[in-house]
Amino acid sequence: MLSWDQSSSIALMQRERAWVEIDLAALSHNIQQIRGLLAAQTDLMAVVKADAYGHGAVTVAQTVLQSGATWLGVATIPEGIELREAGIDAPILLMGATHTAEQIQAIAHWHLQPTLCTPKQALVFAEAMSLSRSPLPVHIKLDTGMSRLGTSWQQSVEFVQLVQRLPNLAIASIYSHLATADDPDPTIMRQQQQRYETAIQACGFSPTLNLHRPRLHLANSAATLTDANLHYDLVRTGLVIYGLYPAEHLENRIDLKPVMQVKARVTQVKTIQPGTGVSYGHRFIADKETQIAVVGIGYADGIPRNLSNQMTVLVRGQRVPQIGSVTMDQIMLDVSSIPALQEGEVVTLLGQDGNQQILADDWAKTLGTISWEILCGFKHRLPRVAVGHPRLQRSKSKVSDRSR
């Protein structure tokens, strides 16, 4: 009779069919590189929505705060609650829109800081907070050209004045979001910046003076790399903290290291004869005797099926082609160039092996999409395994009084 204990569970995890490695040293390095672009008084927000772009929100949040970030950004209330339940007490901006009394109570209870997008929403918040003993920090969102969340910049004065009059709400920041910061042509970005500054000044605030005014923020990852004049009081960085550049023309601004690697194990090795089809639909047919490896990862784990017959992976530091249709739980490789490959050997789908590297950018280019989507696509049945030790510059993040 076999017994099952904790050691058995650990051994099983060590032999997992597929997993995602998160390099904490690379993550810390990226934060410090970004921090080096910023003035001392400019705070760094790490955007950890969507489970930190698939990297694991709690682990990422703990590491970035120790490495120089001072704020966290999430999209939903449950994302914020997960961080609070993990003991994280840094200020958390809730960037999505919320409207119901139940949501507002949760926001207040968990000390999250919501985004207000419309006057109607502000009135709902004020009503829900009517019995509160302390004001709720809120962040006003202006639409300067993204045409997504936020009140038009042309109505900024009325919106800001309304929120200023409402009891139990305190304006913590006024912000907007850039639509084309990753475009080499800065025309639209500069137009948005001008609209933003016009709105701020119309509200009686100066972008260059920060006495007794809400903090201002506009820059996403691309804008953070582009121009220090876009930094204001805080920058909101997502993709760059995970080690990828938002555009090719920004790749020389700082040295980033990819944080995520995706790996899986060979589960079977076999030899097929010429004319043999591989996988569903026989979209690959061997033209010669071919050694193939079956690998335990598939589209249910986040490998896009449209990469079928279009991707390579790394085995022993060499690139080998994936062949046939990607299936739900498995892919097949042509490993004829790898002598005596054994079951259990590790295959790198994203990441580095020897002198070879495959990035999420490579998959994105093949698929005609963006690297953000690739990173967020890896499912939670792939365990996240932290590797490396972050090189920390500070033991505790320092947050100014106005951020609380």
Known catalytic residues are 49, 280
* Spatial distance between the Cα atoms of 111 and 92, rounded to a whole number of angstroms: 8
CB within 8 Å of 206: residues ≥ 6 apart: 200, 213
Do 291 and 269 meet the contact criterion of CB atoms below 8 Å apart? yes
The DSSP code for 64 is: H
For 114, 233, 253, 312, 351, the CA distances from 262, given in Å and listed in that order, are: 34, 36, 26, 13, 7
CB within 8 Å of 350: residues ≥ 6 apart: 258, 260, 261, 262, 358, 359, 360, 363, 374
- 285 membership: H or E segment, kind and range: strand 284-285
The DSSP code for 252 is: T
Tokens 């990607």 label which residue?
326
The DSSP code for 324 is: S
User: Is the Cα torsion angle 112, 22, 347, 267 positive or negative in sign?
Assistant: negative
- 107 membership: H or E segment, kind and range: helix 101-109
- 356 membership: H or E segment, kind and range: strand 356-358
Token pair of 22, please? 């998160």
Using DSSP, state whether 236 is helix, strand or coil: strand
Token pair of 15, please? 């032999």
* Spatial distance between the Cα atoms of 279 and 324, rounded to a whole number of angstroms: 5
Cβ atoms < 10 Å from Cβ of 199: 24
Cβ atoms < 10 Å from Cβ of 97: 17
* Spatial distance between the Cα atoms of 337 and 354, rounded to a whole number of angstroms: 16
Q: Which residues of 287-306 are buried (b: 16+ CB within 10 A; e: fewer)?
A: eeebbbbbbbbbbebbbbee
